A and B are shown apart, each in its own frame.
Chain A
Amino acid sequence: MKAPPLEQSPELVSLRRVLDESAAVPVLLFFATGVLWLLAGTVFGLLTSLKFDMPDWLAAIPALTFGRLRPAHLNAVNYGWASLAGAGCLLWLTSRLCMTPVRLRGGLIASVILWNLGVLYGTGAVLLGYGGSVEWLEYPLPAAAMIGAAFLLFAASILQTFRMRSVQHLYVSLWYTVACVVWFPFLYVAANLPIYSGVVHGAVNWWYGHNALAVWFTPIGLALAYYFIPKVIGRPIYSYYLSLLGFWSFALFYNWNGIHHLVGGPVPNWLQTISIIASVLMVIPVMAVAVNHHLTTVGHFRHLRSSPTLRFTVFGAMCYTAVSFQGSLESLRGMQEVVHFTHYTVGHAHLGVYAFLTMILFGAMYYITPRVARWNWPHPGLIKLHFWLTAGGISIYVIAMCTGGILQGYAMNESVRPFAQVIDLTRPWLIARSASGILITGGHLVFAYLFAQMLIHAGPRRETAPWEEAAA
């Protein structure tokens, strides 16, 4: 590419260090607590899965019954791990793209504390039996209020940093970032209002559940992928023009998808149809993003070998394409008739929040942490181990759950088959899922170990400083 860089100034070299320093404390706090929730959430998840295989194991402890562990897992990994780590990444990214230090840092510290207390309170409440049984909205209201307030503090910091920007052009990652911090509070408050009942509550539930992905998690993943793929490869994205189309079609269509979770249910037909149409329309933004991410990478696969960030991010971006097409297909009535209510949905959810989002978060953290912690990753071998354990684990997971789910769905729709047969049919696939869970847990332990080494500056130091690594 020949076009001259838009920002050219000699101070930039030192400016980057100033920016990283300004972001260091809040970002590391977000990351570190996020990793703790990742570990807790993984344990909950693994236990949940094992409960299917061994229902009589630990069966006398109320807090460890399936129906409490499952929501504890969902909430801990989403509001704990993915949200906290994602918020940390967005802070760093906003400062980078606005070329200005992170603002309102005091508020950010308060935000981390409040956020963690909220997740701790909420998850504890679910385990102790105070969960609300409304998926994604199980936390008691005080916990939700704490998380909401923490999010507002975080959003204020992002918006203030954005306001003080010293750049002319707003890079595409910034649109997603700024949009999601505006969207999410509206969504969270609207969904938590204690005013709904009956089927309207069901609609609100899934409007929220799907939109937590549409307006918070997916924008995080896309913002990071739009930055790190071109940045690590050293080549601008394939078509900036397309990214524009992608953003606005994403904003228009994605938040209409939610009611496809109730296809065939007691909500009005027109509502289901609208959501199915919107789900299919998602093909447009997904194509735009897919073209951009994949065609930027094409021809540069050798970097996958050398860069941990790229390896995780490209894996995540490929899974985004996969999960989105899967989602559009899955929303169709013919498909829903079979896979609705089965383990297929669980496989789909993990392809989204894990294989897409979490893998991209790992990649981003491999890039950001050395800069803010001023230390290099020790043990490159362990990073590779982390990648193969998690990538392998989640692949087995998704394949097992989706195959098992389809079989389960067909068997359930054969009314002559007794229900017990349906249970027996899914058993091997659930065991495969638990096996994949063990791999993933191993990967997370490795990652947590590496991250702790970074925090305490342990392990062998590599020659170059992180900010001098560019010319590798």
Chain B
Amino acid sequence: MLFIRLWMFFAGVLATLFLGWAALIGVPGVQLASVPAQPGLRPYTYEEMHGREIYMREGCVYCHTQQTRPQGFGTDQKRMWGRPSVPGDYVYDRPHLLGTSRTGPDLLNIGARQPSRDWHLAHLYNPRAVVPESIMPRFPWLFEEKTGTGPQDVPLAPGSHIVATREALDLYAYLLALNRTYPVRRAEP
């Protein structure tokens, strides 16, 4: 019968998966390993990295993408979500947060589209206070209630007792850093 030579079966089985790995990971890995960062891109600061961790911790990636599609493929640009992203825009992203779901808008350029700190803090505290239709979760644990606010505290609104924690401020710093509006300077694969 067919598998008189059993090793052939195993060799074939392993070869199929290895071929797929070589083609889908190995080759692009080599091809993209040499892609330099776009000149307009800078590494994340400490605060932004911390904010990025909050972004990962709260699972923002399950509702928001960070990839914009080319013209003629969807209407990302007409929605002001930004020019098509290229590999050089992601060199400092580890892990990647490309995302697969747009329950909420793309955030690759949210820092350029919406730089207001007050807006972001109010939105994170209760999205429905800002956008009534929103189904985004609230993140009240990124804020704390204080009886008296000091000068370095960032209250939600003037006079409010609800102030942003370090986590909320760093998350805002990260959102502000999400800004790939610089022009693409280098040809990329």
**Interface of A toward B, CB cutoff 8 Å:** 51-52, 55-56, 59-60, 62, 65-68, 70-71, 129-135, 168-170, 175, 178-179, 182-183, 186-187, 190, 196-205, 207, 211, 215, 244, 248, 251-252, 255-256, 258-259, 261-262, 264-268, 271, 274-275, 333, 337, 340-343, 345-346, 412-415, 419-421, 423-424
> Assuming the A-B contacts A133-B97, A333-B73, are A203 and B60 also in contact, with contact meaning beta carbons closer than 8 angstroms in the complex?
no
The listed residue with most B CB atoms (<10 A of its CB), out of A202, A204, A251, A342, is: A202
Question: What residues of chain B lie closer than 8 Å to A198, measured between beta carbons?
Answer: 32, 35, 87, 90-94, 96
| CB of B187 within 8 Å of the partner chain | no
Residue from A55, A168, A244, A259 within 8 A of B24 (CB atoms)? A259
Please report the C-alpha to C-alpha distance between residue A261 and residue B100 in the assembled complex, in whole angstroms.
Answer: 8
* Central interface residue in B29, B55, B73, by most chain A CB within 10 Å: B73
Output the least CB separation between B91 and chain A (Å). 5
Given known contacts A66-B137, A199-B96, A255 and B17 CB-to-CB distance under 8 angstroms: yes
Contact A341 B23 (CB under 8 A): no
**Dominant secondary structure at the A interface:** helix
Which residues does chain A contribute within 8 Å of B133, judged by CB atoms?
Answer: 420-421, 423-424
A residues within 8 A CB of B32? 198-200, 268
Work out how many contacts link A and B, with CB atoms closer than 8 A: 219
Q: Are B98 and A55 in contact (CB under 8 A)?
A: no
> Among the listed B59, B70, B100, which residue makes an inter-chain contact with A345, where contact means beta carbons less than 8 Å apart?
B100
Task: List residues of chain B with CB within 8 A of the CB of A55.
Answer: 127-128, 134-138
**Across the interface, which residues of B come within 8 angstroms of A169, CB to CB?**
1
Asked if B1 contacts A182 (CB within 8 A), the reply is no
B109-152 vs A: 1/0 string, CB under 8 Å? 00000000000000000011001111111111100000000000
Q: Tell me whether B16 and A255 are in contact (CB under 8 A).
A: yes
Interface presence of B65 (CB below 8 A): yes
Chain B residues touching A, majority SS: loop
Q: Are B25 and A203 in contact (CB under 8 A)?
A: yes
29 A/B residue pairs, CB under 8 Å, sorted by A: A51-B137, A60-B141, A65-B139, A178-B9, A197-B95, A197-B96, A198-B32, A199-B32, A200-B29, A201-B95, A203-B24, A204-B25, A207-B20, A211-B17, A255-B17, A258-B24, A262-B98, A264-B70, A265-B85, A265-B98, A266-B86, A266-B98, A268-B87, A271-B28, A275-B24, A340-B74, A341-B101, A419-B79, A420-B132
Q: How far is the CB of B52 from chain A (nearest CB, A)?
A: 9
**Chain B neighbourhood of A421, CB < 8 A:** 133
Smallest CB separation, B83 vs chain A (Å): 11
Candidates B2, B12, B95, B139; contact of A244 at CB < 8 Å: B2
The answer to whether B16 and A267 have CB atoms under 8 Å apart is no
With A59-B140, A197-B96, A264-B73 already in contact, 20 other A-B pairs whose C-beta atoms are closer than 8 Å: A60-B141, A66-B63, A67-B61, A68-B57, A131-B56, A132-B56, A134-B96, A196-B95, A198-B94, A201-B95, A205-B98, A207-B25, A248-B12, A256-B20, A256-B23, A268-B28, A333-B73, A346-B101, A413-B74, A421-B133
Interface flag for B58 (CB, 8 Å): yes
Q: Are the CB atoms of A267 and B28 closer together than 8 Å?
A: yes
A residues in contact with B99, CB < 8 Å: 341
Interface residue? B75 (CB, 8 A): yes
Question: Which of the residues B57, B84, B92, B134 comes within 8 Å of A423, measured between beta carbons?
Answer: B134
- Kindly state the separation between the CA atoms of A202 and B20 in the bound complex, as whole angstroms: 16
* Residue pair A252, B87 in contact (C-beta under 8 Å): no
Q: Do the beta carbons of A168 and B1 come within 8 Å of each other?
A: yes
Docked pose: A183 CA to B18 CA in angstroms: 9
Nearest to B86 among chain A residues (CB) is: A266
State which of A59, A343, A419 has its C-beta within 8 Å of the C-beta of B105. A419
Q: Point out the residues of chain B lying under 8 angstroms from A340, CB to CB.
A: 74, 100
Q: For residue A342, which residues in chain B have a CB less than 8 angstroms away from its CB? A: 101-102
A246 CB to closest chain B CB (Å) equals: 14
Instruction: For the complex, give the distance between the alpha carbons of A255 and B131 in Å.
Output: 42
B134 to chain A, nearest CB (A): 7
Chain B nearest CB, measured from A308 CB (Å):
33
A419–B79 Cα distance when bound, in Å, is 9
> What is the CB-to-nearest-CB distance from B82 to chain A, in angstroms, rounded to a whole number?
12
The reply to whether B135 and A200 contact each other, CB–CB distance below 8 Å, is no
Residues of A contacting B104 in the complex (Cβ-Cβ under 8 angstroms): 419
Residue of B with least CB distance to A129: B57
B21 interface contact, C-beta 8 A = yes
Docked-complex contact A190 and B102, CB < 8 angstroms: no
Q: A56-B138, A65-B139, A131-B56 are in contact. Are A266 and B67 (CB under 8 A)?
A: yes
- Distance from B180 Cβ to chain A, minimum over Cβ atoms (Å): 10
Tell me the complex Cα distance, A135–B99, Å.
8
A182 touches B13 (CB 8 A): yes
Taking the closest CB of chain B, its distance from the CB of A94, in whole angstroms, is 15
Chain B neighbourhood of A52, CB < 8 A: 103, 135
Q: How far is the CA of A337 from the CA of B98 in the complex (A)?
A: 16
Bound: A135/B102 CA distance, A: 15
Contact (Cβ within 8 A) A268 B137: no
| Min CB–CB distance A62 → chain B (angstroms) | 5
| Contact B59 A251, beta carbon cutoff 8 Å | no
In the complex, which of the residues A182, A203, A251, A345 contacts B28, with contact meaning CB atoms closer than 8 Å?
A: A203
With beta carbons under 8 angstroms apart, the residue of B61, B74, B137 that contacts A264 is B74
| B44 CB-CB contact with A under 8 Å | no
| Most chain A CB inside 10 Å of its own CB: which residue of B56, B59, B139 | B59
A contact residues around B60 at 8 Å (CB): 67
A133 touches B137 (CB 8 A): no
Cα-based distance from A319 to B183 in the complex (angstroms): 46
